[in-house]
Structure 1
Amino acid sequence: MNRTRILVSLVAAVAALGVVAPASASAAPYCGITWGSQAKSLNPYDPGTDLVHDVRAGQHDCYDRVVVDVAEVDDFDSYVVRYVPEVRRDGSGEAVPLRGGAALQVTLGAVGYDDRGKATYSPDDPLEAVDVSGFRTLRQVAWLGSFEGQSGMGVGTRARLPFRVFVVEGGSSHVDRLVIDVAHRW
């Protein structure tokens, strides 16, 4: 009985000194990031006539970035980006293995070929569309091709981490950019 009172008194004294944080206190979000890891979409699965011209990646202090350059034919406004257990090709359903602990499936309403069937985007190695070696979060970017007015990509990430997606309008250049940022950590 005496030991219990001493232990309770000791815990109360430590808490009073501010050594123990209250349960409601939480750390500030990493780099102010509040994105989450749920699917992001805009007009999901709408086919498009816009043309994919390039895919590239970059590193930032708080996140890694994938950018898809899309030449406007109509207004580019269709994408779905979501974590999936396994990335699959549209049409065939074939699984595409990606490096990393998690995989983002990217579907956009733009195609990688013009109205004559000539490729507007065709990486030398579709499974390594962008070199992301040495990146903190990205492990692989794969181009899955175009099918029925949409194009697909797979992005392997280190883990299931917060991400955001947005479109930067091209203005007079008529090249919009689909931007996918994946945080380095929670």
Structure 2
Amino acid sequence: MNSRQRIAAGAAAGAFLIAGTVASAPATASVPSHATASPPPIALVVNARTGVHPTFDRIVIDVKGKLPPTTVRRVKELRYDGSGAKVPLRGKYFLEIKLSPAAAHNEAGQSVYKGPRLVKLNMPEVKGLALTGDFEGVVTFGVAFKERPCYKTFTLHRPERFVLDIRH
């Protein structure tokens, strides 16, 4: 390739780059309103309560807003989110309940959760309940048991609630 051909090829490449830059420049058309709308409000966990029934113990977690996906899993021990410190509840078996996306505080960082943070219980099955985390869009509870729990979960609406029933 001679120098004249190199100059022509360079000019063509430069024109191509300029055209690509112009083509990728942002358009001046308006952005659809759904693209700038704020995300939906996060569910707020406001309370947790317990009750004893003739054949089961019940834990209810009250939520303001849309009930988020909730998982329950067996764990070997209970630890506080963030610090990793052991939760001081006695038991041989434990369940961890996670609600996400959710928070137990408002946008100003103030707690909206009015339930127990740590409570030792003497119910037939449930021996303790603790709020173990409110961190990065996840609210976590821990439940302690003396015996391996047999449980079922379900949701109730108006108001929004997550329910955990533990058979006696």
TM-score (norm 1): 0.63
Of 62, 80, 86, which residue of structure 2 is paired with 1:95? 86
Alignment partners' CA distance in 2, 1:122 and 1:94: 22
Of 29, 51, 55, which residue of structure 1 is paired with 2:44? 51
Q: Which residue of structure 2 lines up, in the alignment, with residue 147 of structure 1?
A: 135
Alignment partners' CA distance in 2, 1:118 and 1:146: 12
- Assess if the C-alpha contact under 8 Å between 2:43 and 2:68 holds in 1: no
Alignment partners' CA distance in 2, 1:100 and 1:62: 21
Matched, 1:63 2:35: no
Q: CA RMSD in A?
A: 1.8
- Assess if the C-alpha contact under 8 Å between 1:83 and 1:160 holds in 2: no
Could you say which structure has the larger radius of gyration? Answer: 2
Alignment partners' CA distance in 2, 1:77 and 1:51: 9
Of 111, 134, 143, which residue of structure 1 is paired with 2:103? 111
Secondary structure, in 3 states, of the residue corresponding to 1:67? strand
Structure 1: gaps (5+ residues)? 1-47
- Deviation per CA, 1:107-139: give whole Å up to 9, x if none: 11221101121110155x6222xx633x10010
Aligned length: 127
Amino acid at match of 2:131: W
TM-score (norm 2): 0.69
Q: Which residue of structure 2 lines up, in the alignment, with residue 7 of structure 1?
A: none
Q: Which residue of structure 2 lines up, in the alignment, with residue 180 of structure 1?
A: 164
Structure 2: gaps (5+ residues)? 1-40
- Deviation per CA, 1:128-183: give whole Å up to 9, x if none: 2xx633x100100111130001111110012112111111112xxxx311101111
Runs (4+) off by over 3 Å: none
